[in-house]
Amino acid sequence: MDEPELIVEYEDDYAVVTLNRPRAMNALSPALIGQLCATFRGLQGRESVRAAILTGAGRAFCAGLDLKALAASEDGLGSFSIHGEHDLVTAISDFDRPVIVGVNGVAATGGFELALMGDILLASPEARFADTHCRVGLAPGWGLSQKLARIIGPSRAREAHFTGNFISAQQAADWGMVSRVVEAESLLDECRKLALDIASCVPETVTIYKKLVNDGLEMDLSAGLAMERHVMTHANKNISGDAIGARRSAVQQRGTKQAAD
């Protein structure tokens, strides 16, 4: 029996989504793209899922589009049908809770774009990022040309785009592309800890905050500040002082415990 190309595991408060084509470096086949889209649409309908973890099986996170499938198809890129039901960007961005990406190895081209669809990125020392669009003769379509310059700065992004050179895990951390580098054997555990931390927060506020940050990144500062004030006015008007006080007490207890640890 063939192994599933995508493994989805549900914990109490979060889900772990694992690309499972290790022999193909988790390259994105048309079937895998379809399954990813369906999975994230399904997660959106599960209120119990407060966060999602996305990672890869084996030594790679994702090597990008499956070039063998591309070469074997008479339709070329059309065989991937990356619009409609297979619109991966929309499927993941429509999931309104945090997506934690555990980059366990190479994230190349479409795999690089997939990683940047997440909200929080952790990387193992073996993680490497590369944009090979210019080397294989394809234009990007999942946001890499727009996102990377905003994250690491235009000069660094252009160097990555125009050369296809690899960015190491430590470079990615130094440039703010990933939150931090953790040992390979601890990567998934650290992702799980983050998911539990997120799940312990007020879910409605996490959802609002994710939208605020993501929408704000598409605006100038003055527009973003105006949006924040508007959202604050509507989101906070029905919250009582007693509720805030009770939650603040829990935060203080948590801070005391973390300091002791």
Which residues lie closer than 8 Å to 169 by C-beta, 6 or more apart? 103, 123, 124, 125, 126, 127, 128, 178, 181
Which residues lie closer than 8 Å to 248 by C-beta, 6 or more apart? none
**Tell me, what's the pLDDT at 244?**
61
Considering the entire predicted model, what is its pTM?
0.90
**Tell me, what's the pLDDT at 78?**
56
Q: Tens digit of pLDDT per residue, the chain (261 long)?
A: 578 999 999 998 999 999 999 999 999 998 899 999 999 999 999 999 999 999 999 999 999 988 776 655 556 555 555 666 789 999 999 999 999 999 999 999 999 999 999 999 999 999 999 999 999 888 898 999 999 999 999 999 999 999 999 999 999 999 999 999 999 999 999 999 999 999 999 999 999 999 999 999 999 999 999 999 999 888 777 665 655 655 665 665 565 566 565
The topology (CATH level 3) of 6-199 is 2-enoyl-CoA Hydratase; Chain A, domain 1 (3.90.226)
- Please state, in angstroms and rounded to a whole number, the distance separating the CA atoms of residues 99 and 40: 10
The span from the first CA to the last CA of the chain, in angstroms, equals: 46
How many whole angstroms from its chain centre is CA 121? 7
**Tell me, what's the pLDDT at 157?**
98
Which segments of the chain belong to CATH 3.90.226.10? Answer: 6-199
Per the listing, tokens 């799940």 go with 199
